[in-house]
Amino acid sequence: MTLKDTSVTPLNEHQFTERASALLRFVYGEARAVGVLRRLMQLIERYADAFDTTPRPLWSERSQVLITYGNTVSAADPDVFPLNELNRFLGERLNDTFSAVHILPFFSWSSDDGFSITHYLEVSPDLGDWADVRRIAEGHNLMLDLVINHVSRESLWFADYIAGTQPGRDYFIELPANTDVSRVTRPRNTPLLVPVSTRRGTRHVWATFSDDQIDLNFENPDVLIEMLGVLLNYLSQGARIVRLDAIAFLWKELGTACIHLPQTHAIVKLIRAVFDYLVPGVLLITETNVPHHENLSYFGDGDEAHLVYQFTLPPLLVHTLSTGDAAPLTEWAATLPPLPAGCTYFNFTASHDGIGVRALEGLLPEHDISQLLELMKRFGGHVSMKTGPDGEDSPYEINITYFDAMKGTRKGEDPWQIGRFLCSQTIMMGLQGIPGVYLHSLTATGNDTNGVQRTGHLRAINRKRWQRDTLEHLLDSPTTPTRIVFERLTERLKLRRAEPCFHPDVPQKILELSPQVFAFLRGPLENGRRLLALHNVSDQPQAITLPDGLKGRGWTDLIDNLASPDDEKLLLKPYRSAWLVSQS
């Protein structure tokens, strides 16, 4: 197959209004849809001159995303804004490594490290300003979050609700305290209805995630128009990838689970239509930490998200490398369905959140999941819980850094942590899709137990803030895990960017070579080039015999872990990986 940078076919005005009208009629009914569409077109008109509507490529093999907070790396000089220091770090340490940077919410906020926003259009003054954000966007595709489901209770909109004034008075979901919400799917074990003192007395409002994160009421079309205005502002500031945070919970309907409702999917389709009309080639990614088949539903028919998070990968890789058994990973990867045109996966192992457990439902037996949770606790991690419809708590995510999740196997800690971790990252980088690498994975960051104690929040274990001089010392010291991991991962990321077989549109075939080896084939391309990825997930050397169709093809190992990659039998050391390429 011949691969070029994938481009999108833009929508013209007629196509857009037809699609938007149909979606708005579905969500709001015939009577209201006409007015909502008129307001949407007026909003778009205000921003029309801010955008270049020339279609841009969606992705290529060079597409790689760094995930970071705006203040993960800070200067010793308090006069240097963290966003400036981040930009300097990118230029000095990660030049030509990542095509995109996901800066986690950098707006004014009150809790949850940015995901409880007080002002959507204001950069947190502790981080910098929009000029600092745009400087980063000049050198990288900027990925940012539209925190669409909820706002801070300290926001101006919620202040309006408390005072009973417009515009925010009707932006939230108010219910009697005794409303039966037992069917609602919860990602937390806190109460869903939060008491709030207002000028009308105590009221109870819907809060999916915390009592400081109050859900917006999208049954009110004013809320939709407000959030689309925020979105267009972000695009005008240079955003090229937009992450819809917690999108699965957007629409509420009592008597249902209030997750993945048809109206939610329709609003995602509407946002995608706005992109394809105004900024073709800007990517939409949905964040839905749910079982795999539910996650895939956000591709729609190729008309919703361009990318969905591969939430199954992080916990399944931990299970694989802690047991030395690649069979469940191989079985899962082999069943991934064909991707819709113009869609791909966002592969990752670590992020600002924990390692989700729900994605393992139906993939691993309960006793394997329980053993995994206990092992992570032995390695210094914690387990966050959620409340089910039956009122019972169950595991939701593991709070641990991904590096420390690789401390050992079920036999306990061992000397293979770095090798095991590098194997996990190499698997993630090679799979079909676009890789996202958390900055703390690059720096082999261990559990920040002080952060947990200081904040009282379990997720702080994976959100360490580096002082630049401390980080530089570790990166320049010859034998630190930070230096070893940083150098190996950046080397492999640069290899990946130069390899056309890693284009997201190149298909993959999962191979069953050995229970201790995870293997897949990417390609072949039209010129015959293909890539064979081999990974020893165990602490013992593995002798690998290639299938007859893959023998004698003049393989070369890009990573240099196999001295003679064309031998009849290949000996792969513990936790080593190989990227074998061939032109035949």
Residues belonging to the active site: 245
Alpha-carbon gap, residue 169 to 187, rounded angstroms? 27
Q: Could you give the 3-state DSSP secondary structure of residue 315? A: helix
Residue pair 315/401 in contact (Cβ under 8 Å)? The answer is no
Helix (H, G, I), strand (E, B) or coil at 15: helix
- Tokens 């702080």 correspond to 460
Among 32, 261, 224, 58, smallest CA distance to 146 is for 224
- Distance CA(506)–CA(522), nearest Å, equals 6
Q: Where are the alpha helices (DSSP H) in 413-543?
A: 417-430, 439-442, 449-455, 468-476, 481-497
339 vs 557: CA distance, rounded Å: 28
Give the angle 202-179-247 at the CA atoms, nearest 5°.
95
Rounded alpha-carbon distances, angstroms, from residue 396 to 358, 373, 391: 6, 11, 14
CA 19/CA 470 separation, integer angstroms = 53
Q: Is 358 helix (H, G, I), strand (E, B) or coil?
A: helix
Distance CA 32, CA 38 (A): 10
**3-state class (DSSP) for residue 330:** helix
- Cis link prior to 435 (omega < 30° from 0)? no
DSSP 8-class letter at 542: E
Bridge-based pairing of strands 577-582 and 530-536 is antiparallel
